[in-house]
């Protein structure tokens, strides 16, 4: 059970990261669950920071 939960949260993080790289707004987070939403926003935030530092175009 814990493994499935971790996989879901990891997927949420990855989806947020991809959204951040793609330039989507953080208001477009598809998750309602607090934990998944937090992970998605964390991934989004990291991708946006990396994009702003010039690591991605």
Round to whole Å and give the CA distance between 20 and 1: 29
Residue 42 within any structural domain of the chain: yes
Does residue 48 fall inside a structural domain? yes
CA distance 32 to 3: 20
Q: Is 57 within the bounds of a domain?
A: no
The answer to whether residues 25 and 51 touch, using CB atoms and an 8 Å cutoff, is: no
Closest to 15 (Cα-Cα) out of 38, 43, 35: 43
pLDDT digits (tens, 9 = 90+) for 9-44: 999 999 999 999 999 999 999 999 999 999 999 999
- Position 6 in a domain: yes
| CATH number where 23 lies | 1.10.10.620
Report the domain count for the chain. 1
pLDDT over 70 (residue 1): no
Structural domain including 43 reads: 2-52
What is the structure's pLDDT at 2? 65
Band (48; pLDDT cuts 50, 70, 90): very high
Is the model's pTM score more than 0.75? yes
**Cβ neighbourhood burial of 24 (10 Å; 0-12, 13-18, 19+):** middle
């Amino acid at each position: 059970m814990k493994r499935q939960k971790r996989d879901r949260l990891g997927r949420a993080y990855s989806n947020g990261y991809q959204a951040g790289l793609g330039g989507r707004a953080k208001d477009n987070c598809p998750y309602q669950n607090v934990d998944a939403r937090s992970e998605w926003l964390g991934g989004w935030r990291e991708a946006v920071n990396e994009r702003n530092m010039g690591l991605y175009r």
